Amino acid sequence: MKKVCVLGAGSWGTALSIVLANNGHDVMVWSIDPEEVLMLKDYREQRDKLPGVMVPSVIEFTTDMEMAVSGAEVIVCAVPSPFVRSTMKSAAPYVTEGAVIVDVAKGIEDGTYKTMTQIIEEECPKACVAILSGPSHAEEVGRKIPTTVVAGAKCKKVAELVQDVFMNEVFRVYTSPDVIGIELGGSLKNVIALAAGAIDGLGMGDNTKAALMTRGISEISRLVVAMGGHMETVAGLSGIGDLIVTCTSKHSRNRNAGFLLGQGKTYQEAMDEVKMVVEGVYSAKAALALGQKYGVSMPIVEAVNAVLFDGADVKEATKQLLMRDRTSEALNLDWN
């Protein structure tokens, strides 16, 4: 049994706290919001973001960062990606030497273009940092619907510890050393999911969406390899797996926000209607900047940025993608 702290009491933090408690760990969940903590204590349910999923009575909730983090062997960072740095900065004074911090937020920091594990390593240098990612909507994990994810870390023992802590009969965990590949897959698929949702919002068909998703994974692959990651990771749970679920699921906030964009809403109107942090919006600018930095062609990411921040029309952006210069699908293959 491990002493585990979960930072963030939203849908994902709550769902993972249930997994951890059911695995026999001592779990305390921290939230910055006193009303959220009171709700979870009184009703044992995240009524706003995970309705209908009951929280075991053994899980404790607090707004006291020191109480939550002090002595924790495993710390799960489950706050939305824009708040990872500030949250870990607050947690850092209480992190025990050698504690394992597991990032489950998906995003790239605007301005610095750093991944979430890079941010955590900066703010909490005493800890060992890992990532847990894959096709895993909280709405299904909380209801014990079979789910499979991947735990990434630079050190094999750290990844295997995360695997042991989280894995059970309905939550399968693989391990991988390709941290950058896992993080980029989990972050960039949110940007592609905005575009996939917009396709649905425009009323286009399955052919269009399948093409968008396939070319999207191609863009992700190019950037992952350019930044030192591996194609095998892109073909795995944190790449294609996460892209499929995020582009197609009714639970996907990124897909749902994109749907509203396709119907003519601004990105702010879309985020307000979704009522949760749409991480693809925050990652879009960073993804574009990374593509430019590494000389990687990312036309879908460019189109998403144009719609979000430059006032481009969604239908026109789609047309421009279709009318780009002719090219080959596999540029590295030779003709006989």
pLDDT of 47: 93
* Cα(133)–Cα(52) distance, integer angstroms: 24
pLDDT at 269: 87
| 3-state SS track over the chain | CCEEEEECCCHHHHHHHHHHHHCCCEEEEECCCHHHHHHHHHHCECCCCCCCCECCCCCEEECCHHHHHCCCCEEEECCCHHHHHHHHHHHHHHCCCCCEEEECCCCECCCCCCEHHHHHHHHCCCCEEEEEECCCCHHHHCCCCCEEEEEEECCHHHHHHHHHHHCECCEEEEEECCHHHHHHHHHHHHHHHHHHHHHHHCCCCHHHHHHHHHHHHHHHHHHHHHCCCCHHHHCCHHHHHHHHHHHHCCCCHHHHHHHHHHCCCCHHHHHHHHCCCCHHHHHHHHHHHHHHHCCCCCHHHHHHHHHHHCCCCHHHHHHHHHCCCCCCCCCCCCCC
**Which residue numbers in the chain have pLDDT < 70?**
none
299 with 321: CB under 8 angstroms?
Answer: yes
User: What are the residues facing 26 on neighbouring strands?
Assistant: 3
Instruction: Write the burial class of residue 202 (CB in 10 Å: 0-12 exposed, 13-18 middle, 19+ buried).
Output: middle
Cα(312)–Cα(98) distance, rounded to whole angstroms? 48
Q: Would you name the residues annotated as active-site residues?
A: 189
Q: Are 72 and 31 in contact (CB under 8 A)?
A: no
Instruction: Provide the percentage of residues in the chain whose pLDDT is more than 70.
Output: 100
Task: Give me the pLDDT at residue 84, please.
Answer: 97
pLDDT value of position 178:
98
Q: Minimal CA–CA distance to 90: which of 27, 162, 187, 5?
A: 5
Query: What pTM was computed for the model?
Result: 0.94
pLDDT for position 137:
94
Do 247 and 199 contact (CB within 8 A), yes or no?
no
The pLDDT of residue 281: 85
Tell me the domains of the chain and their CATH numbers. 3-177 (3.40.50.720), 180-322 (1.10.1040.10)
Q: Render pLDDT for 226-270 as a digit per residue (tens, 0 to 9).
A: 999 999 999 999 999 999 999 999 988 899 999 999 999 887 888
* pLDDT given for residue 267 in this prediction: 78
Identify the pLDDT of residue 273.
87
pLDDT tens profile 173-219: 999 999 999 999 999 999 999 999 999 999 999 999 999 999 999 99
